[in-house]
Structure 1
């Protein structure tokens, strides 16, 4: 190990962790180590959506060509979400369409992760390494302690370990003790949104000429909504059906840590009984559905402390109602890689602070907007069922996609860094 290299430890090998590891590994002055608790890289879930903003990051990183090979759709300005009112009997009705800037690009989640894996150099990944704790040494470096009894050292630790992040837990506990801020302890654990999601996959052959195969659909009703779109190049329909009990927002989930459980198709169909016929037809064809308790974080006041940084779901785990979780993690990675790429050990603190100043306000805004959007789809927002104002308000929720550019954000983080170092 060269002492001149900046040693970056990434805890977690999901989309965010690998999106950071790949660009960092291109810098000769940085040693990257990815510590993954599982025995291999793997993603839970079927579909993932990204928007043109994230695609631009892939172009800037030289990854777009490889992602294009596994994409299930082409960017298309005519593509967006069709919204229907579907809980009003056999015949629902269309009430809104939101077109996305250059459309949304859909992937199978495993194929999406594979592209990052293929660009990862050998000897970067370390499997079976579940982080238990870390310690800040007197020289400012960090010691990592793993469940298998091994340890490692780094100059900076990046927590990419998901919504149940061990890194976030220790960071907030240490900060609460050091600064006498017990309020931070309430931010450690994810909170149940009051929503469960039924997920399932349907072969396209079982849904001939169904509207979900032509365009992403949003079927809306009181306290419930369904997102459905095609993946695997149109051969599979990915269905996510949400059911909310508003009174349970921020309550403790009855299943405690059992956030994902199997369920029956009869449970799913019963939950959406009385909805329009296209919905009933679709739900009846889901085999082996799963039931997910949707959790999210409260907005954190900081992402960085003592050369430990949070990103992705560890920093801003959010509801999926804007399809923004993966994109926000990738943008975290892009900005953090940009500033770490020009940092040294002596300027590391300035680099991490610049990352936080750039990403925290944006990601926290998207987290809040994701909550609000779910309420809009289920007619529980301040707009109620006023379609003429609700429709434009929903479209406004995606303004973060075009309010700036990835290049502009990269310039911003570097400018802040120059002012701090």
Structure 2
């Protein structure tokens, strides 16, 4: 039986990690279709929790990620009045020892793109998804704005909060809305000791 093909919409962090995982742990051949004409990312630094560090480790990418990241072993809680440390939240997985990593999104995406190239994963740029439809049982077709179509066994929507996959196929009536909640925090290096 020939290997399955998978269509991944979106070359963000989740799309890249999914493609790398499929190449490493299955016979599935993924192809990533990205809306933008070249690799790009929005946003600044992000915090990768220990489970993400574990995923990077399983893909052989943790050491390279640590070279371009700051390791976060705990979040210190400090008094605004005195500046004294009053507590800490551990950011280390007790069982695996994996820590959190604070990393620039663009640097991480660059690392993942190099890994995709090494793994032989095709990335097609400038491919705007217009529609998704099921054909034969167990097959799906992605239709692109340029008239191109691609048929595969599975299609993954890794195209973010305003997902075209979700809008065209999964939940067409559901729109992203602001919940009214936000979070602000910062990270700073602490002296050793």
TM over 0.5: yes
Question: Which residue does the alignment assign to 1:400?
Answer: none
| Structure 1: 4+ residue segments shifted above 3 A | 91-97
Deviation at 1:128, TM superposition (A): 0.4
Count, aligned residues: 180
Identify which of 142, 145, 160 aligns with 1:144. 142
Checking the alignment, whether the CA contact within 8 Å between 2:66 and 2:101 is kept in structure 1 is no
Question: Which residue does the alignment assign to 1:193?
Answer: 179
Q: 1:83 to 1:190 in 2, by over 3 A?
A: farther
Identify which of 155, 158, 161 aligns with 1:160. 158
Q: 1:84 to 1:22 in 2, by over 3 A?
A: same
Q: 1:228 to 1:123 in 2, by over 3 A?
A: closer
Deviation at 1:35, TM superposition (A): 0.4
Checking the alignment, whether the CA contact within 8 Å between 2:5 and 2:153 is kept in structure 1 is yes
Q: TM-score, normalised by structure 2?
A: 0.81
Report SS of the residue matched to 1:57.
helix
* 1:80 has 2:68 as partner: no
Q: Rg bigger for which structure?
A: 1
Q: 1:191 to 1:98 in 2, by over 3 A?
A: same
Question: Which residue does the alignment assign to 1:227?
Answer: 185
Q: Distance in 1 between matches of 2:33 and 2:146?
A: 12
- Mapping of 1:96-135 within 5 angstroms? 97-101=88-92, 104-121=100-117, 122=120, 124-135=122-133
Identify which of 20, 23, 36 aligns with 1:22. 20
Report SS of the residue matched to 2:65.
helix
More strand by share: 2
Q: 1:229 to 1:136 in 2, by over 3 A?
A: same
More helix by share: 1
Of structures 1 and 2, the one with the larger relative CO (CA 8 A, separation 6+) is 2
Checking the alignment, whether the CA contact within 8 Å between 1:84 and 1:96 is kept in structure 2 is no
Report SS of the residue matched to 1:26.
helix
* 1:61 has 2:59 as partner: yes
Q: Distance in 2 between matches of 1:96 and 1:29?
A: 47
Q: Distance in 2 between matches of 1:118 and 1:226?
A: 32
Q: 1:23 to 1:104 in 2, by over 3 A?
A: closer
Deviation at 1:75, TM superposition (A): 4.7
Report SS of the residue matched to 1:45.
coil
Q: Unpaired segments of 5 or more residues in structure 2?
A: none
Deviation at 1:37, TM superposition (A): 0.2
- Mapping of 1:146-295 within 5 angstroms? 146-169=144-167, 170-173=169-172, 185=173, 188-195=174-181, 226-230=184-188
Checking the alignment, whether the CA contact within 8 Å between 1:14 and 1:41 is kept in structure 2 is no
Q: Unpaired segments of 5 or more residues in structure 1?
A: 86-90, 174-184, 197-224, 235-421
Report SS of the residue matched to 1:228.
coil
Checking the alignment, whether the CA contact within 8 Å between 1:52 and 1:75 is kept in structure 2 is no
Q: TM-score, normalised by structure 1?
A: 0.39
Q: 1:66 to 1:135 in 2, by over 3 A?
A: same
Q: Distance in 1 between matches of 2:24 and 2:91?
A: 32
Report SS of the residue matched to 1:66.
helix
List per-residue Cα deviations over 1:350-372 (Å, max 9, x = no partner): xxxxxxxxxxxxxxxxxxxxxxx
- Mapping of 1:338-357 within 5 angstroms? none
Q: 1:146 to 1:81 in 2, by over 3 A?
A: farther
Deviation at 1:126, TM superposition (A): 0.3
Deviation at 1:15, TM superposition (A): 0.3
